[in-house]
Amino acid sequence: MIDINLIRTNRKLVEDNLKKKFQENKIPTIDEILSLDKSVRELKIEGDNLRQERNKKSDTIGTLFKDKKIAEANSLKSEVKEINERLIAIESKEEKLASKLKELMMTIPNIIAPDVPIGKDDSENVEEKRFGEPIVPNYEIPYHSDIMSSFNGLDKESAGRVSGNGFYYLMGDIARLHSAVLAYARDFMIDKGFTYCIPPYMIHGDAVDGVMSFQEKENMMYKIEGEDLYLIGTSEHSMIAKFKDQILKESDLPITMTSYSPCFRKEVGAHGIEERGVYRIHQFEKQEMVVLCKKEESDLWYDKMWNYSVELFRTLNIPVRKLVCCSGDLADLKYRSCDIEAWSPRQKKYFEVCSCSNLTDAQARRLAIRYKNEKGEKEFVHTLNNTVIAPPRMLIAFLENNYNEDGSVNIPEVLQPYMGGKDKLIPDRK
């Protein structure tokens, strides 16, 4: 959510931003916002004036009773009663209009960074840099689910009977590999100075509204029937919401945390659920990183965070590239974002494995997360998030890039301690 002062004082900037994000249909909302804002402020002024009048009359009533001027005192009491009744009506109206105003404000996207490329959707995202040589071996690499199955490591048929499409059983060495990369990613981020956290896997609706747009909520989140609880789609949700309604100490910033959680997503939309493999599914596990910092530090942290992803994937022998997200591909709360994509030697193309975002103060405004600066003034923090690693999707890149012609899979040196010292996985069947 942007600062409403920006709409009051620089409407053109907000409208130009809507055009860059191909959301011109929201431009009329600006008029509605400004009209509601005017009404809310007028009601607030009227209410404040009535409270002052009431307080003055109340003080006078006490003096009149003291001076035995009972009739005058009772007359003023009647006037105070009328003021209170008017205040109740004004406060009720102000509350309703303020709620509607906030609802509309939450539909206006964050102002994007000046250097964000303009494009309608992810097909217009821009490759910025590659890391590692994207190699295609001179032997065939099977589909990732076939590689997993060669180790007796994947059972989607049983999961389909138990849970339906979009779920899986991981078994044996593949399950162990899944846990190993999560443990390695955890320790990798701890070594970078991040505090490890296991957060709640369900959060209240107001926390959901604080961390994501309404459209994302509708397309992603599973709601617990009969309760004000949602299953998280990523641990970023509960990690950021941890600081809801808090005033932090400037000395505590930046706050850097890395978290493990299962993640649950409806995956409503154009992509859908993958029938055969484990690329797009309803349930997965993830190691995440989040940062809360001062505004002047957020660009620096953004660069640090996506570079951590590159570094981690390169230690696993996986070539990656940085893809800058265009304006139309940015979720409404994002100032800038990039994807780290891993090389698929089977498909001879890259695919997304990490997403790094700077949301400036958009989430913090929704969740009322502030800090006191050195002058004692309250400012909103900036929030950032990035995927550390998200198996089983990232296992696709791992298996393909470490796959040998004989069907075995190499285990990079950094991962061997988490795999019981194994340097190679040998298939049970070919």
- What are the DSSP calls for 342-357, one per residue? EEETTTTEEEEEEEEE
Q: Each residue of 155-207: pLDDT tens digit?
A: 989 988 999 888 999 999 999 999 999 999 999 999 999 999 999 999 999 99
Question: Is 90 exceeded by the pLDDT of residue 213?
Answer: no
Which band of pLDDT confidence, cut at 50, 70 and 90, is reported for residue 275?
Answer: low
Instruction: Tell me the average pLDDT across 422-430.
Output: 84
What does the DSSP assignment read for 199-260?
A: --SEE-HHHHHHHS-HHHHHHHPEEPTTSS-EE-SSTHHHHHHTTTT-EEEGGGPSEEEEEE
**What pLDDT was estimated at residue 12?**
96
In the chain, where are the structural domains located? Answer: 4-105, 122-425
- The β-bridge relationship of strands 424-425 and 409-410 is antiparallel
Phi, psi of 61, rounded to the nearest 5 degrees:
-60, -45
Distance CA 356, CA 387 (A): 7
- If one counts every other C-beta atom within 10 angstroms of the C-beta of residue 9, the result is 10
The CA distance from 187 to 223, in Å, is 32
d(CA 178, CA 354): 16
Is residue 72 exposed (0-12), middle (13-18) or buried (19+ Cβ within 10 Å)? middle
Token digits for 168?
């899986």
Answer yes or no: is pLDDT of 74 > 90: no
Encode pLDDT of 99-115 as tens digits: 999 999 999 999 999 99
- pLDDT grade, residue 58 (50/70/90)? confident
Q: For residue 231, is pLDDT > 80?
A: yes
Of 312, 341, 336, give the one whose Cα is nearest residue 326: 336
Helix%, strand%, coil% for the chain, nearest 5: 45, 20, 35
**Residue pLDDT, tens place only, 117-152:** 999 999 999 999 999 999 999 999 999 999 999 999
- The CB-side HSE value for 272 (13 A sphere, CA atoms) comes to 6
What is the chain's alpha carbon radius of gyration, rounded to the nearest angstrom? 27
Say what the pTM is: 0.88
**Per-position DSSP letters for 272-334, written without gaps between them:** ---SSSSSS-SEEEEEEEEEEE-GGGHHHHHHHHHHHHHHHHHHTT--EEEEEPPGGGS-TT-
Express each pLDDT in 293-324 by its tens digit: 999 999 999 999 999 999 999 999 999 999 99
CATH number, domain 4-105: 1.10.287.40
Please tell me the predicted confidence (pLDDT) of residue 164: 87
280, two tokens: 């797009």
The pLDDT of residue 371 is above 80? yes
Look up tokens 């689910």; give the residue.
145
Q: Record the tokens describing residue 351, joined without a space.
A: 């695919």
Q: How many residues does the chain have?
A: 430
Pairing between β-strand 370-372 and β-strand 247-249 as defined by DSSP bridges? parallel
Of 42-56, 84-98, 261-275, the one with minimum mean pLDDT is 261-275
Average pLDDT over residues 40-64: 87
Of 47, 15, 19, nearest in space to 34 by CA: 15
Query: Average pLDDT for residues 238-245, to the nearest whole number?
Result: 95
* Between 276 and 355, the higher pLDDT residue: 355
* Predicted local confidence at residue 320, as pLDDT: 98
User: One-letter amino acid identity for 179?
Assistant: S
Mean pLDDT, range 278-284, rounded to an integer: 85
pLDDT over 90 (residue 332): yes
- Give, in degrees to the nearest 5, the angle at Cα 114 between 298 and 342: 65
pLDDT at 270: 47
What's the average model confidence in pLDDT over 259-270? 79
**Distance between CA atoms of 195 and 259, rounded to whole angstroms?**
8
Q: Is the pLDDT of residue 268 over 70?
A: no
User: CA angle, 39 as apex, 35 and 42 as ends, to 5°?
Assistant: 140
In which element (H, E) is residue 90 found?
Answer: helix 70-105
pLDDT class for 269, splitting at 50, 70, 90? low
Q: Where are the alpha helices (DSSP H) in 106-171?
A: 144-150, 156-162
CATH number of 122-425: 3.30.930.10
- Residues 36-43, mean pLDDT to the nearest whole number: 95
Q: Are the beta carbons of 306 and 338 closer than 8 angstroms?
A: yes
Two tokens, residue 67:
């001076």
- Rounded to 5 degrees, φ, ψ at 116 are -65, 130
Task: For residue 151, give the H/E element and its range.
Answer: none
Those residues with Cβ within 8 angstroms of residue 401's Cβ, 6 or more apart along the chain or in another chain: 135, 316, 317, 318, 319, 342, 343, 345
Q: In the beta sheet, which residues pair with residue 203?
A: 230
The H-assigned helical ranges of 151-198 are: 156-162, 172-191
Quote the percentage of the chain above a pLDDT of 90. 78
Alpha carbon distances (Å) from 375 to 245, 250, 292: 21, 11, 20
Extract the tokens encoding 328.
Answer: 């139309």
